[in-house]
Each structure stands twice: as C-alpha cells, then as structure tokens.
Amino acid sequence: MASVSCAQKTRIIGRKVDHMTEFNWSALDERAVKMAKVLSADAVERAGHGHPGSPVSLAPIAYTLYQHFIKHDPADPKWAGRDRFILSGGHASLTQYVQLFFSGYGLTLDDLKYFRGGADTRTPGHPEYGLTPGIEMTTGPLGQGLASAVGFAYGQRFERGLLDPEAPAGTSPFDHKVWVICGEGDVEEGVSSEAASLAGNQKLGNLTVIFDANHIQIEGDTKLTFSEDILARYRAYGWYTDEVSFIQPDGSYKEDVQALAAAIEKAQEVTDKPHFIKVNTLIAWPTPGKTNNEASHGSKLGEEAVKGLKELCGFDPEVSFPIDEEALAHARKVAERGLAAHKAWDEALAKWAAQNPDKAALYERLKAGKLPEGFDKAIDDLVAGFEVGSKVATRKASGAVLNAIAAVMPELWGGSADLGGSNNTNIKGADSFGPSEDATRTWPNVSEYGRQLHFGVREFAMGAITNGILLGSDTRPFNGTFFQFSDYERPAVRLAALMEIPNLYVWTHDSVALGEDGPTHQPIEHLAAFRAIPQLEV
C-alpha cells in the first residue's frame, strides 16, 4: 500500500501551527492497526471475560490519535507539557492499553496477556489512575470520563492564567489539549450532558471529543433507547461538531483515517468552542459473526471468531498474541517525536522562567505541592479575629477560612452548584471564571482566568469537573452544595476517593434542625452513607 497524505498536513493549536508530525498513513500503520485488533481480541479471550468489540473497532481511531495528534512523551508520562487523553468508556480499556504498549510506556506483551489478571495486574478491566503509566484518570462509570475531561480543560485554562496569561494563544508552554474517546453510554448518562453544557458555555476550545457511534449496547441496538440527533444536541450546547463515517454510502466499510484526521485538523482551527466529532463505526469490525453484534460488546469473541479475525488481519490464526515486529518498531517511533516535543517544551519553559522569575517560583511551588508562605499566619490571624465564646454559623466560619486561604493561595479556586451565598463559597473580589461577555448584574467581573466557579444546578458535573481540575492541573479546586444535594454528587465523590485525590467538598446545611424547607432538604442518612465510602474523610 502506497503512503498517502491528508490534504492538510499540520494540526492547529490555538492560532499557532504545531509541526510535531505530519499526517501520513502507510502500510506499516495499517499493519499496526490490525495488530492492535488481534491483540485486543486475544487479551479478552485469554482472560475469559471483558469487552473486545470496541477495542477492535476503535483501533484505527486510537492509533491515529496517539501517533499523530496527542502530544505525549512515553518516556515521561507525567510531563507537564503533554496533552491529556481520557478514555471515557473505560470498559474498552484495551483500546488504550494497546496504544500504550505500542508507544513505549513500559507496558509489555505480558501485561496484555495478564489483562484482568488480578490485584497485581497493570492492565485491569477498567483504567485505574496511579496503576498504569499513561492513564490520566480512573474511568468505568460511564459519562464521568467525559465530564471530568471538561475539568481537565478548565484546569489547563486557569493554570495558564496563573502563570502565563498574556501569551498569545498557542504560544505558551502551558497550552495543551484534552482528548476524549467516548461512546453512546457516555452521552446517555446525565453527567455528560451537565458537563457538556458547561463546556460550551465556557467556550473550551482546548477540548476535543471523538464519539464512537457504533449503535450497540449490551441490550442490543441503541435505537431502542437513543434516537436523538446527537450532533444537534451538542451544537445546542455550543460545541463545534463534525461527522466522519467508516460506513460507506454503498454499505461497505472503510476505516477512513484520512477523513478522520482531516476532521480533527479542521476542528483545531476553532478555538472558541469545544469539539465533538462523531465517527460512525461497526463494533468489532471485521470479526466474522461478531461485527455489528451486541455479542461482541461484553463477552469474549470466541475461538473461531478470533481465528477469523486474525486471518482477515493477515496473522496466523493459530498464534496467540502475534507481534508484527516491523509495524511495532514503526509505532514506537512516536517516542522519538515525543522526546523532541518535550525538549522543545523544556526550552520554551526555561525561556519563560527567565523572563518571569516570580511566576516561575509559583510554578515550582505548585509542582512541588507546597503551601505558600504566609499560609499559617493567614489561619492564625483569622482565628485571632474570632471572639472567644462567640457563636458563628459553621458555613460562615467555613467561608471565612476559604477566603483567608484564598488571599495567600492563588491556586485555590472553586464555587457552588448555584448556592454560593448560602454555602459561603464565594471568594471576595474574585472574577468569575468564564467568557467576559457572560458578565451579569450580580457578577459584573467575568474573565477566562477567573477563580470563582459557577456550576449552575449541576452537582454531579461539579464533582466530576473538580476531579478533572485536580487530575489535570496543579491547582486546588473546591465545590459546595447543601449536604442533602450531595446525593447528586456522590458518584464523583466515590471516584475521587478511589483515585485518592484531595478534592474538597463544602457541604452545608448538614443538620436536620435546618429543616424549614421540609424533609426533602433534611440530610438524614447522608453522613453515614459518606462515611461508608473508603478513603473519604468526612
């Protein structure tokens, strides 16, 4: 197969062209994608359980992203200048594990063979933060990956504002992108809608979502439960949308990576909207008997189907976990490109630091996770200001503490789910986070780098977004609501506890005595329920 090139040969970041790589697709790329398909199928087959269908059909999409669009350095998975990638549909974890293996993140073929292998596996059934290099967050509960990706995008913008606010778009070492692959289950979950609405409102041009539309769920065709025009929905949220179809008008199937790359490149030119690209696929293609079939979603494909897939992909059907060494070596070259990008970033960071010594000192403190000078004094001064024996509502005391800390800790930011005044989560004198044209009579000062967050009545998204902020930046968010409404936030709280990340929740009105609104607003079982979550301090 001759090498082919997309008409647009560079990707756009902000208003600056990034020449890290051209999009060229060769026979070796095709062979690598086929290898990804059979490795995914073999891993599930060996485990005896898992979700093989999506990793098989997502292989060309994930490979295209990792090889040509995501800025990453496999030698340093925590490189601050990297793009962030979130696989929202965590059940399709092999989609990412195989690309991490291809790219050189330290995952081995034995790791793929030990997929779902037990407590010591590095390739668990769903991606787990802190366990596997290259995994940005734990995903599995559908919708939360996409919602937290909005938080990753929030965090990138706010941290840039702290450190390099005047740099033209695309020229700062603190500019990076957030990439997501999601599926129907993700966009059916309400939390993704809550967060997507906020992403559009915030005009997050640093966020790109690839939506895998394979129309298959465990119970069969999604037309039973999911029939709206998803692109129209996301346009209504304020997103840029596009569509690529691997299913051709004549019914044939072509994994048209050139069309996908062109759509991604075109989307990057839009800097004032998040991007949602729908890709029409057939789950498990081209597996005989399992393509476009719910049987491939959550069960192993079966020996005969896997053999058929291997034959169609050019591999010996009798060989498990086959490796095309030439194709693997080709894929591993992405590490060289990542190293070069990392080196260029280091040089840009050093230049920025020399020109901005005060900001550089802040950056070093944030990276080290240290508290600022004056932190203890701010608390001591606050305590000294309270009269001994006086009474103060706990939520007012909490608000006073937040503001005392905020005065010396610029990385602290946050807000409430439309209850800021009641929760006392407003930061005095702070600009609101958002486009300046969103200023209101009550909140006249709005800027893209503001530190006062407004979530609207979206508790679940609030929890997921602040999780993403924590994971994707070196800033410290907090969020608040009435304790009773923490029920709406609970799944994101549980995920934060699983990841052991220090999210901060301000849940006020926590007494049944504050019951003027009646039993719907009285937290009865909530304290016991949250204390039952492992690794959550209440």
pLDDT tens-digit profile of 114-164?
999 988 999 999 999 999 999 999 998 999 999 999 999 999 999 999 999
Residue 14 lies in a domain: no
Cβ 108 vs Cβ 332: under 8 Å: no
Q: What does the pLDDT look like over 401-432, one tens digit per residue? A: 999 999 999 999 999 999 999 999 999 999 99
Per the residue annotation, which of 136, 265, 294, 459 is the catalytic one?
A: 459
Residue-level pLDDT at 25: 96
Residue 265 lies in a domain: yes
Judge if 183 and 243 occupy the same domain.
yes
Q: Is the pLDDT at 4 greater than 90, yes or no?
A: no
For the question of residue 459 being annotated catalytic, the response is: yes
Instruction: Using alpha carbons, select from 243, 234, 195 the residue that is nearest to residue 88.
Output: 195
Judge if 281 and 406 occupy the same domain.
no
Cβ 240 vs Cβ 276: under 8 Å: yes
Q: Is the pLDDT at 11 greater than 80, yes or no?
A: no
CATH number, domain of 60, equals 3.40.50.970
Band of residue 514 on the pLDDT scale cut at 50, 70, 90: confident
Q: Is the pLDDT at 12 greater than 60, yes or no?
A: no
Distance (Å, rounded) from C-alpha 15 to C-alpha 34?
Answer: 35
Judge if 328 and 379 occupy the same domain.
no
Q: Is the pLDDT at 315 greater than 50, yes or no?
A: yes
Judge if 315 and 392 occupy the same domain.
no
C-alpha dihedral sign at 473, 81, 339, 100: positive
Residue 311 lies in a domain: yes
Q: What does the pLDDT look like over 456-470, one tens digit per residue? A: 999 999 999 999 999
Judge if 281 and 158 occupy the same domain.
yes
Band of residue 21 on the pLDDT scale cut at 50, 70, 90: low
Residue 483 lies in a domain: yes
Q: Phi, psi (5° rounding) for residue 7?
A: -60, -40
pTM over 0.85: yes
Band of residue 511 on the pLDDT scale cut at 50, 70, 90: confident
Helix H or strand E encompassing 447: strand 446-447
Cβ 154 vs Cβ 202: under 8 Å: yes
> 140 is in which domain, residue-wise?
30-332
Burial per residue of 468-505, b for 16 or more beta-carbon CB atoms within 10 angstroms, e otherwise:
bbbbbbbbbbbbbbbbbbbbbbbbbbbbbbbbebebeb
* Preceding peptide of 141 cis, ω within 30°: no
Judge if 327 and 384 occupy the same domain.
no
Residue 84 lies in a domain: yes
Residues of the chain with pLDDT > 90, as a percent, come to 92
DSSP state of 130: T
Q: Is the pLDDT at 15 greater than 80, yes or no?
A: no
Residues 6 or more apart from 483 whose CB is under 8 A from it?
Answer: 507, 508, 509, 510, 523, 526, 527
